[in-house]
Structure 1
């Protein structure tokens, strides 16, 4: 069934596209996300589409025992769109917030929001600075050491291509 983008929040649209293995820019707005979805052939269902599909021609709800109601999903086994890579900051990025003794209270809400987005932490329910600080401490701080190690493993070679192998 086609999604109803009109009824979905920005976070839900973003998650739907990620689940569909579609790359999206980190700071894409609703219009850009909808354009990306339509360019990949995903059309939004009209508002009454779900109701129309869920009932038969007589107006009665469909039963799940109707023939052809359940079909196994076709799987070609080949993926055409790759999953996006996780964000690994470069050595030139300001990553002072990854240090062990960093106090996240010194950052503004906007900076905490940007850091959360860069580390792919959902922050839709965060309302106050304390909420963002708790998100930082529970999601970003535990992964800080691994992120620093990943940054150290990135080596630039003469051709300008980054070699990620250890």
Structure 2
């Protein structure tokens, strides 16, 4: 079975993100040439690119970002600039929030997950907004067991959170809709 080590055929996949990763100048990046990446990292990249879920992979101590086509819309106009760059460069507005989550997984190997987790992000023309995601950040381990990357599977839930908030306001905060009791009329 092939290991996908050919730089012209790896990573597999035909999407935009696969093409960007395939043609990126990795030799001058913190990750170094992709031909030297560990088998587990290369396999994780292939799995990420094939997935329909929104996935970003933060690699190494600089948390270099790799992501799939499904994830790209979640970062707006940071795409494609964020690909192949340390997270601190492109997520500066939320770095104080994001860095401890990523570092926690990188240093402990323990998964972090949350529902409707708020993040403040500038994703459209530098305009900041609070958005919500269901998140699962898990360790990608090298063959020696060390954590070499953090795999982040996310699903934006902003619309759901805002809808619940609107419903709560409409119901006076009780979480229940109030409707007037039917009345009977007599002629």
TM-score by length of 1: 0.22
TM-score by length of 2: 0.20
Higher helix share: 1
Higher strand share: 2
